[in-house]
Structure formats: structure tokens, C-alpha cells
Structure 1
């Protein structure tokens, strides 16, 4: 047995469990948005495998080790879950390829990336292609219409996109929260319509990963707790200047996907317990600030990348808090 076989096997097993844990959330997304979710997923995973194969061949390495660890498939799946379900096919391909190339292979491949590849791909797509990244569907489309929309064949159906709940709240100037929830179809009972169930599904998958000890609790708890606290402190009830309740922020956008599947990425995230906790706290605070006062409705991706930059400082701080043992 080579000295790298056991770690590779552990990584592969962990990636399989992560994909299994993602399944409830993906099914909830499919229930909410329809066939576009599946098309996105197929495009993303196919692109990831092609990019991995090309890069591995250029490096003159054998194909199986890179393709079998599952990390590229997980990154592609996370990115597919974060992208609008009916975005153009080229946007999905570009986001996945850019995320893997500039977020992982530029730094030497798996285990060496300082940034989360999925979130880097998402942010690059958001910055370069802002308009299609804001086209979130008001309802699912049938399979034929879904292909037509994704591959730009034929005419798009009328009134099939709408602002998300986070976007509607960010630009609201006059309506109270009660009026927003009553009049805007993007709002559900507590958060975004349907998105609250998606978040609960990802939450269930996250609990599975915690139970199987694939991830540690520090980063998810830090993110969700800080997001809850700051949204509670800044909450103005149902007034027109309210920024949303804690429950609204926990059950809207990519909160649970970010808490359990993105900030727990072992390479770009923190490694020690205290650093992980602080990393999660930072992501939660930045997510709220970007959602409320930033230029984008959901700040999870930007918050993660900003905190990736802080990981070395967090690790040094955590190390300084450890008791020194005299020789």
C-alpha cells in the first residue's frame, strides 16, 4: 500500500457522505424549481470532470487519483445548487471551470487551495454576468421548456422570473414586513417561499454530516449563532425599515448550504477548533452586513471568500490562546 492510499480513501469516503447529505437539499430544490436544477447539476458535474481530466493530462499525471477523490464533483454540485436553476448553459460551464482552475488548480490542486473553489466560481459569475445571475424563477418549468431556456432555444415564457425574498427586502422602502409577506409571492411563512424548506433540507443533511463526524460543529454553530444574534439586534419588528427577523435570515438564501457544506470545506477553512468557530462567526456577520447594506442580496459567497483570507490570522490567534507547556 502506498503512503497516500489511506488518506485518499478517507477523502473519497468523506466526499461520498457529503454528496449523500446534499441529496435532501437538491431534492427540495428540484421540488421548488423543477428540471433546471437537474440540468444545472449535470452540466456542472460534466464540466468538472472534463476540467479535472484535462488538467491532470497536462500535468502528465494518471487520471484515476484526481477524478476518484470526488472533490471536483462536490465543488460542482455545490455550485450547481447555488446558481439560478435556469441560467444559460455557458454560465454554469464558465463558473465551474473558473472555480476549479482559479480556485484549486492554480495553487497546485486538491489540498492546496486557499479559497473555496465553488464560491470563487460563484462570485466570478456574479461579477461578470450579473444580469443572468439574478434570474430566479417564480415557478418550475416543464422539461422541454427547461432545455429551451437553458440552451437559449425558442422564446422564454412570460413572467417566469421574480426577485428573491432577500432582494425584495433589500430594496424595500415603504412596506412593512407584514405587508411584504402578504403581498410579495417571493415570501413564504418565515423566509423565502419554498426556500425555507430548502434550507431545512440542507440543515437535515448537515446534521447527518455532524452525526457521521465528517464535519465539526464549530464553524456551522459560529455562523448560525452570529447571524442569529446580529439579525436579532438589528431587527425592528415589522417596520418598513426592518432588515428581517433572525428566522427570516436563517431560512432564506444559501444560509444552511453555506453553514454545513461550504464553510466546513477542510482546505480553505480553518483547522483548529477556536479558529473554526471564529471563521464561522465572521462568515455569519459578513453575510448579514452584505445582505443588509451591500450591493448583493445574499452575501454568503463573498463572506466565505473574505474569511478565507483571514484563516492564517485566525490560526495564529488560536495558537496564541493555547496554554504554553514549559519543557
Structure 2
């Protein structure tokens, strides 16, 4: 371990003891062990859902967004780019990361933002420090908590909830939810867009379509586990692993809508527009209430130049999402 040698410690254990009492060394250790894997427009479907949230609720004239664990700035930069394309530039954005190098990189990445966008980039430790002293309408903490053990992840999440506005929401990745609830790793709630709302922490009931072809029941929970693992693999861009898992899921239940939805996500990440469109159309046919599939389908239709179909799919996604959010907690949609 390079840090052990530089610190002059004889063993890793001796180094850990030294790092515990040396705040600067702890920061250097964190920067050494955090992967920092990121890219622009990562998990695009969720970025689009964040934009829809900001546009669908009554927010202040300047919505406040916190990108927690911003790495080198690709996530906040992607979100600002998508918002600007929709004419939204009057935004207050806070971007934080525990690694000082990531903070400096984010400052550089966001240095040429729109003049109406106010940006603050600071170093922040989610587990041990209180959140910034503002109320946020959207908090992005995606693929961050998965690096923590369950107790630390829950402590960080609880801190995040205290920083939300009345209509605010926290957006996380599937792997983060696994870190928060490791004992529930195969529940279908992992497929619910990886969006957590503080007052609705109970696992969601698996979706049952109102109409359309009947879906086969899980085989001893293995199908749900495969889909959960596939979504986590997609979030980490392990596309070959995700494809293998989805093929196994399809073999178990060929008519499972979530499988075809995730195939659509996979094809989008690979840039295969035709295959993505086909998979998402099949997902919406199999489950007419799967609003996530309609949301991505709208984007695919728009990219294909079919504005009318895109608008129709987006209206359907909006209606289904509103119905899901207004339903009593624990009810089946």
C-alpha cells in the first residue's frame, strides 16, 4: 500500500492507527481508495426523471440542487446541460465530494456555467459532517452510499433527508439501496427507479399491471434477484455482466416487463437505438403501468424523429407517475 510506505508505517495496521488520528492522512487515504468512476450523462434515465421532478412540482423560482459525491463534476455538468437545453438556467447548485482532488476538478468543470446559474463546490464528508445549510429540491447521491457499510450508509442517508425542502426528493442508484437495505437485496423495490423519498422508506409492493399479458411469478425469488443484480451492473456500466443476467432473467420469464425495460436501458447505453426502441415498446406492452419504460420510450421516439409519439409516451409516463405517487402507501398500482 503506497500510503503505508509514505507514512513510514511498518504494517497496514500501524498505518490505519496513524490515519485515525491524522485528519489530513484520512483525506489522502479516502482519495486513494475511492474509485472515482464517472462519466457524463451516466444513468440518463434517472437524470431525465430528476428534470421531470423539478418541472412537475411547485418549486421556488431558483430550484436548489445538491450533487453529493460529485466526483470530478460529470454528474452536475450533465444535469445542468440537460436543464439548459430545456431553457432552465436560474439554478442554485451545490456540488460536494470527500476527495479534495475531485472538488478541484469539479470547480474546473463548472467554471463556465450559464451566468444565471449559481454554483458552490466544496469538500464535504457525508457520514461525519452536517449537510450544507440549505433546503434542497433535489439531492443527487448516486453510486455513493454503495461504498459504505450499512450503518454508515444509513447515517449518511439520514443526514441527507434533513436537507430536503418540503417537495424535495433524494435520487440514488440501485447499488446504494442495496447498501441501505442489504437484507432485502432481492426485492422488486430495487427496480423502482432507485428513487428514495424520506417519508416512504418501506419497500414498495411489486407492480401489478391493470391490463396486458399476465407475467409469470418469480421462481423462488431468483428472478427478482437477477433483475436487481442486472440493474446494479448497468449502473456501474458492466454491460456484459448486465446482459448475461438479463438473458438468464428472460429465460426464466420471457414476458416480464422489467426485463425488457432493463434491456432497453442496456441498448441505450450501447447506442443501439433500434434495439432500445424495440425493448421499451415491448416493456410498455407487457406492463401498461410501467411509467419508467414510457419515459425512456418517449426519449427514443424523439431521437427517432417521431415527435407525436414521443409526446404521447411522455404524457402517459407523467400520468402513470402521478398516479403512483398519489396512491396510498403500500397499495398496488
Give the TM-score normalised by structure 2: 0.24
Q: When you count strand as a share of all residues, which structure comes out higher?
A: 2
Higher relative contact order (CA 8 A, sep 6+): 1
Between Structure 1 and Structure 2, the one with more helix by share is: 1
